[in-house]
């Protein structure tokens, strides 16, 4: 071993403890949510017949055995990907790619990877044991991989015209929360709440342009989340026009909410009006200027429309406003 390939040799590692790694490439497991977990086979000879025959029933039998932890000693499968997502940026692991082969699964191109991995238990058991005095056995608990966390922030129009809808929005949020609780996911999902109105320069009695009612950290608790939701009130005065500054609310959620602990991030916009547009830009031009992904791992997805008879910029809308 040396400092670099041109450096002075500073030590040695036994050859039997080394593996050839010519390509310098590694592989990371994708999030298993919505996908089969990856199976690790003993060798290429174990997997090639399965691929060549496209034997789906045999694959399913192997997968079910691996998933249940009931793999026989002679099984070609030696391991299966962990059941929960492991963020390699937070919990680093190394799976070197030693070799590969391009294959076809029906009409789809795929790739067999030869990888290396050192199971933690095997590494510990291979170390020489020190003599220690006898002690009372203690129960040990296997380390549990961190759960896949999601953050959901509601961005709500709280202008005067939304007053009839705010109570219905609270009911909708309650139904969503109850559904998640029934699915036993309440500890893996956090909720936040941001409200927006319009420029306080034009209408000072609006009180605020944007207001962060509930952070994602507060929204981990049902009690604190709905306590914040209960304080949301519609404005008591009208804004200058029909359109409101929904972009300000969205950017408040993106820029000023702490998303750092969230693997998946969702912003849900609820409004009955179109957004405020700069006077020199059309809606299409504003849309073209919004980046496709303002932060790594973030994007935009329209999920609904407002009623088709609403107005935007003072004119009739025939197709509804994006929500």
Q: Which of 119-133, 182-196, 253-267 has the lowest mean pLDDT?
A: 119-133
Residue 45 lies in a domain: yes
- ∠93-96-99 over CA atoms, to 5°? 155
Whether residue 98 is found in the same domain as residue 168: no
Residues 222, 186: contact at Cβ < 8 Å? Answer: yes
Choose the final residue of a domain: 104, 120, 136.
120
Residue 233: is it exposed, middle or buried by C-beta count within 10 angstroms (0-12/13-18/19+)?
A: exposed
In eight-state DSSP terms, residue 311 is E
Residue 322 lies in a domain: no
| pLDDT value of position 309 | 42
Whether residue 113 is found in the same domain as residue 156: no
Whether residue 107 is found in the same domain as residue 170: no
| pLDDT value of position 241 | 65
| pLDDT value of position 194 | 93
CB atoms within 10 A of CB 253: 25
- Torsion-angle region of 175 (φ positive above 0: left; ψ -120 to 50: alpha; else: beta): alpha
pLDDT at 137 over 50: no
Choose the final residue of a domain: 99, 120, 141.
120
| pLDDT value of position 161 | 83
Using alpha carbons, select from 247, 269, 160 the residue that is nearest to residue 205. Answer: 160
Greater confidence (91 vs 186) lies with: 91
Of the pLDDT bands very low, low, confident and very high (cuts 50, 70, 90), residue 323 is very low
Range of the domain at 29: 17-120
Q: Looking at the DSSP assignment, which residues form a beta bridge with residue 176?
A: none
Q: Where are the alpha helices (DSSP H) in 15-153?
A: 44-53, 56-68, 120-125
Residue 134 lies in a domain: no
Task: Give me the mean pLDDT over the 174-203 stretch.
Answer: 79
User: Could you tell me what percent of the chain has a pLDDT over 90?
Assistant: 5
pLDDT at 84 over 80: yes
Residues 305, 319: contact at Cβ < 8 Å? Answer: yes
Whether residue 189 is found in the same domain as residue 277: yes
Whether residue 212 is found in the same domain as residue 75: no
Greater confidence (140 vs 248) lies with: 248
Residue 142 lies in a domain: no
Residues 82, 93: contact at Cβ < 8 Å? Answer: no
Residue 88 lies in a domain: yes
Based on the structure, what is the number of domains in the chain?
2
Task: Give me the mean pLDDT over the 114-142 stretch.
Answer: 51
Q: Please, what is the average pLDDT of the chain?
A: 74
Task: Give me the mean pLDDT over the 165-186 stretch.
Answer: 77
Whether residue 166 is found in the same domain as residue 106: no
Whether residue 108 is found in the same domain as residue 168: no
**DSSP per-residue codes, 147-207:** PPPEEEEEEEE-SGGGHHHHHHHHHHHHHHHHHHHHTT-GGGEEEEEEEE---TTT-GGG-
User: Could you tell me what percent of the chain has a pLDDT over 70?
Assistant: 72
Whether residue 111 is found in the same domain as residue 165: no
Whether residue 83 is found in the same domain as residue 168: no
Highest mean pLDDT among 33-42, 101-110, 139-148, 248-257: 248-257
Highest mean pLDDT among 45-49, 176-180, 284-288: 45-49
Residue 140 lies in a domain: no
| pLDDT value of position 68 | 87
| pLDDT value of position 130 | 45
Whether residue 115 is found in the same domain as residue 182: no
Regarding pTM above 0.75, the answer is no
Residue 157 lies in a domain: yes
Residue 8 lies in a domain: no
Choose the final residue of a domain: 120, 141, 164.
120
pLDDT at 321 over 70: no
Whether residue 219 is found in the same domain as residue 291: yes
Of the pLDDT bands very low, low, confident and very high (cuts 50, 70, 90), residue 204 is confident
Whether residue 160 is found in the same domain as residue 244: yes
Greater confidence (197 vs 240) lies with: 197
CATH of the domain at 257: 3.40.50.410
């Amino acid at each position: 071993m040396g400092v670099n390939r041109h450096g002075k040799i500073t030590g040695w590692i036994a050859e039997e403890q080394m593996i050839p790694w010519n390509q310098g490439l590694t592989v990371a497991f994708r999030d298993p949510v919505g996908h089969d977990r990856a199976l690790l086979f003993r060798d290429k000879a174990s997997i090639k017949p399965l691929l060549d025959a496209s034997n789906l029933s045999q694959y399913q039998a192997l997968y079910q055995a691996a998933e249940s932890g009931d793999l026989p000693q002679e099984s070609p499968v030696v391991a299966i990907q962990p059941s929960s997502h492991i963020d390699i940026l937070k919990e680093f692991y190394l799976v070197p790619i030693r070799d590969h082969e391009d294959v076809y699964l029906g009409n789809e191109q795929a790739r067999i990877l030869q990888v290396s991995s050192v199971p933690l238990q095997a590494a510990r058991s291979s170390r020489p044991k020190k003599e220690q005095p006898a002690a009372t056995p203690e129960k040990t608990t296997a380390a549990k991989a961190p759960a896949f966390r999601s953050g959901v922030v509601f961005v709500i129009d709280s202008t005067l015209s939304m007053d009839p809808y705010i109570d219905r929005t609270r009911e909708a949020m309650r139904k969503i929360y109850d559904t998640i609780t029934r699915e036993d996911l309440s500890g893996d999902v956090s909720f936040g709440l941001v409200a927006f109105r319009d420029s306080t320069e034009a209408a000072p009695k609006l009180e605020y342009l944007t207001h962060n009612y509930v952070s994602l950290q507060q929204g981990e608790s049902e009690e604190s989340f709905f306590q914040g939701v209960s304080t949301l009130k519609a404005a008591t005065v009208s804004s200058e026009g029909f359109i409101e500054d929904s972009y300000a609310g969205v950017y408040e959620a993106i820029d000023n909410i702490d998303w750092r602990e969230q693997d998946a991030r969702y912003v849900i916009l609820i409004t009955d009006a179109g957004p405020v547009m700069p006077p020199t830009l059309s809606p299409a031009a504003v849309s073209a200027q919004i980046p496709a992904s303002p932060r790594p791992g973030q994007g935009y997805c329209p999920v609904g429309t407002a009623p088709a008879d609403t107005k935007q910029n003072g004119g009739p809308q025939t197709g509804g406003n994006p929500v």
